[in-house]
Amino acid sequence: MTEITNIVPREVVEIECAAPTDGFLLADWLNRVIYEMAVRRMVFGRFVVTIENGHLRGRAWGKKVDGARHAPAVEPKGATFTALKVENRSDGTWIAQCVIDV
């Protein structure tokens, strides 16, 4: 959407969701972030989440979109199940991915 260095994280938005699998939880989280971006006309540049028993609690920090400063290239419409994958690798790192419609 925009260069993350152009986002000054001034406002915080609380976001919660729950899902039966890690993949569905990723898609739900991303769709809720996209929803908050649209209704609040914000861009986010910092996130903190905790996940416990299929329930995600998160915070997103950002600010109102400034067309001159942020110059948004695209507007995300929603997370899809295309290429949806959440995997805990043997080395302790995670991969979380899916396709976002724009």
Question: What are the residue ranges spanned by the domains of the chain?
Answer: 4-65+73-101
Query: Which residues does 49 contact at the CB level (< 8 Å), separation at least 6?
Result: 29, 56, 57, 58, 59
Give the homologous superfamily in CATH for domain 4-65+73-101.
Archease domain (3.55.10.10)
Identify the helix (H) or strand (E) that includes residue 62. strand 55-64
- Asked whether the beta carbons of 79 and 35 are under 8 A apart, the reply is no
In this prediction the pTM is: 0.89
Phi and psi of 75, rounded to 5°?
Answer: -120, 115
Which single residue is written with the structure tokens 């080395």?
91
Identify the helix (H) or strand (E) that includes residue 13. strand 11-18
pLDDT digits (tens, 9 = 90+) for 39-78: 999 999 999 999 999 999 999 999 998 877 777 678 899 9
